[in-house]
Structure 1
Amino acid sequence: MGQSIVREAGLRKLKLMAASGFKALPGFGVTGKVNGRSVALGKAKFMKDEGVDVSSLLERVDEMSRQGKTPMILCVDNKAAGIIAAADTLKPNTKSAIARLQGLGLDVVMLTGDNPYTAQAVAGELGIKTVFSEVLPGGKADEVKKLMDQGRFVAMVGDGVNDAPALARAHIGIALASGTDIAMEASDITLMTSDMRAVVDAIELSRMTMRKIKQNLFWAFFYNSLGIPIAAGILYPFSGILLKPLFAAAAMSLSSVSVVTNSLLLKRFKPSQQ
């Protein structure tokens, strides 16, 4: 978000001054000093808690929130000075990725620190029914734990510093390529792309892998339950058939080849399309 603000300032040819005493308050905002003056930027609630009168801006803040934007109040020397609003642009493939996840029978839940209006606007566009808004960084991990306590198997997808605790808490943490180092370290899986479709591809591939494992175990058990008794001579008293060591070795090799060949079929994996 900071990069977006700096980029917009550049487009407007505004002079950027160095800040000192910078402090980030995850989930609330940032503070610092610019040109000797105290500056703070963050949520309206954060400003209220700091004793700043933002009543004159609240109507505009609510209006921006209903438009799906995330408004932040700028305060200079403990006085409200203006509003900066940012809006997330959904990636073209995100909606189809969410639809594919739901098609796999998964419940998709959105955890966000944004206000309820912005959260509902984004969730509505993506087709997500369950939304938790205004969630603080530590709160995301708490929400994940609540879902786990309900007996659900939870996979968390995130890329920011604020997502790290939840990524570590979930059964499976999945970090995107655009993620911070902390998010990647806290996750179990790091994807090589920021495309949400890769999350679905990874789940589909993992499911196919489990099917192959079960198939291989079944055929190995079935093959050996027949082959070992025959090799031990169970048929000899009835038919005089006795498996020679050479044929037994060949049969065992054939068993291994069939299992490996079945596993190699994973290379032909193709993700589903929505």
Structure 2
Amino acid sequence: VAAGTARGAQLGVLFRSAGALEAASSIEVACFDKTGTLTAGKPAIIGVHAADDRMLAYAAAAERSSEHPIARAIVDGARELVIPEAREVVATPGSGVQAIVDGVRVLVGTAEFLQLAGVDVPADDKFPGATLCHVAIDGRYAGVIAVADPPSGEARAVIDRLRAMNIDAIMITGDREAAAQWIAGQVGIERVHAGVRPNEKAAIVAAEPRRVAMIGDGVNDAPALASADLGIALGTVTEIAAASAGVTLMRGGIGGVPTVFALARAALSTIRRNLVGASIYNVVCIPIAAAGLLSPILASAAMSLSSVTVLLSSLRLRNWPPE
């Protein structure tokens, strides 16, 4: 276990406990968040439909304190505008944010988020592959901001590698179906759960009958990370998500996900090999020593040799090559 976790640290994979290493060795399903995990995490505004001239500046004001990549894209897109101060900011994970800006209530989030607040949201299919952030000002619909985030450059290779390891990949995201399916098609994921709230993510993970890992990077993913047999957090993860995960990828990105499972399998294989070898050694040698066929000095040396053999076998993990 020590050799496996040490080799993981060298490769940028931090196993927080021996239990995490053991759990990683038996994973059959890997569930991925979308934004910032399967995507590059550098979204940008690709379109704005505004029914109110204040819409983009007010949306940026409400989102300015958020660390979510979509929120950062909105703020960056409004950097040439005068962004007023927001107060009484309340974020609803997986749905949106509300705040008071210039004395009026501003809502920014999903269509469902605005509808629950009594705002009529028109249908918009102009940006099928984008994430849509709808905005309401003072109880009236003010427009929509379309944000697109391209797939991570390593996502396709990671999914292919997991498939070769007989690990199924699933996407679980709070984004709308069209945007989720577009990213899934780009990276090779067939099973998608879209429009999912954070607590629903946890329920989907908990309902999976096979051994499941959850990979995510945000506050929205914390309940699902905690519900999975193994939570894997990215290096850019929030403190809440990191506390819920058994493994952290220190180098950021999902490129290390296959390494987590492959190294854990190698470590558990080594443990089993050592256990079997030591058991056979003792079954053979103890009766010989008990029968007096070995001198006490030779028996002591043989027992020490058994321990050294197990140690050397374990240390081979220090040079384990990631594929």
Equivalents in 2 of 1:54, 1:159: separation in Å?
A: 29
Equivalents in 1 of 2:134, 2:227: separation in Å?
A: 32
Counterparts of 1:78-157 in structure 2, within 5 Å, are 78-147=139-208, 150=209, 152-157=210-215
> Which amino acid in 2 is paired with 1:207?
R
1:246 to 297, 303, 308: 297
Counterparts of 1:68-79 in structure 2, within 5 Å, are 68-79=129-140
2:237 to 179, 182, 187: 179
1:188 to 220, 243, 246: 246
Is 1:36 aligned with 2:87? no
Equivalents in 2 of 1:46, 1:168: separation in Å?
A: 25
Aligned to 1:208: 266
Aligned to 1:220: 278
Post-superposition offset of 1:176: 1.1
- 3-state SS of the aligned residue for 1:121? helix
Post-superposition offset of 1:81: 1.6
- 3-state SS of the aligned residue for 1:174? strand
Greater RCO, CA 8 A, separation 6+ = 2
CA RMSD of aligned residues (A): 1.3
Is 1:62 aligned with 2:129? no
**Structure whose alpha-carbon radius of gyration is higher:** 1
Equivalents in 1 of 2:301, 2:115: separation in Å?
A: 79
Equivalents in 2 of 1:71, 1:48: separation in Å?
A: 14
- 3-state SS of the aligned residue for 2:168? coil
Post-superposition offset of 1:51: 2.2
Is 1:4 aligned with 2:55? no
> Which amino acid in 1 is paired with 2:213?
A
- 3-state SS of the aligned residue for 2:134? strand
Post-superposition offset of 1:216: 0.1
Aligned to 1:239: none
Post-superposition offset of 1:206: 0.4
Post-superposition offset of 1:122: 0.6
> Which amino acid in 1 is paired with 2:274?
N
- 3-state SS of the aligned residue for 2:256? helix
> Which amino acid in 2 is paired with 1:228?
I
Equivalents in 2 of 1:229, 1:264: separation in Å?
A: 29
- 3-state SS of the aligned residue for 1:125? helix
Aligned to 2:118: 51
- 3-state SS of the aligned residue for 2:269? helix
Equivalents in 1 of 2:142, 2:287: separation in Å?
A: 86
Q: How many residues align?
A: 254
> Which amino acid in 2 is paired with 1:201?
T
Equivalents in 1 of 2:120, 2:282: separation in Å?
A: 78
Equivalents in 2 of 1:255, 1:26: separation in Å?
A: 55
Post-superposition offset of 1:6: 1.4
Equivalents in 1 of 2:96, 2:135: separation in Å?
A: 10
Aligned to 1:24: 91
> Which amino acid in 2 is paired with 1:263?
S
Equivalents in 1 of 2:82, 2:270: separation in Å?
A: 60
Equivalents in 1 of 2:120, 2:267: separation in Å?
A: 58
Please give the per-residue CA displacement for 1:122-164, whole angstroms capped at 9, x wherever unaligned: 11111111110000111001101111xx3x1111111111111
Is 1:265 aligned with 2:316? yes
* Stretches of 4+ aligned residues off by more than 6 angstroms: none
Please give the per-residue CA displacement for 1:9-56, whole angstroms capped at 9, x wherever unaligned: 12xx1111100111112222111111122211111222223222332x
Equivalents in 2 of 1:36, 1:115: separation in Å?
A: 31
Task: Check conservation: 2:151, 2:186, Cα contact below 8 A.
Answer: no
> Which amino acid in 2 is paired with 1:15?
V
Is 1:255 aligned with 2:276? no
Is 1:161 aligned with 2:229? no
Provide structure 2 residue ranges, at least 5 long, that are not aligned to the other structure. Answer: 1-69
Equivalents in 2 of 1:54, 1:132: separation in Å?
A: 23
- 3-state SS of the aligned residue for 1:135? coil
Equivalents in 2 of 1:69, 1:22: separation in Å?
A: 25
Post-superposition offset of 1:90: 2.0
Q: Percent identity, aligned pairs only?
A: 42
> Which amino acid in 2 is paired with 1:153?
R
Equivalents in 1 of 2:113, 2:76: separation in Å?
A: 25
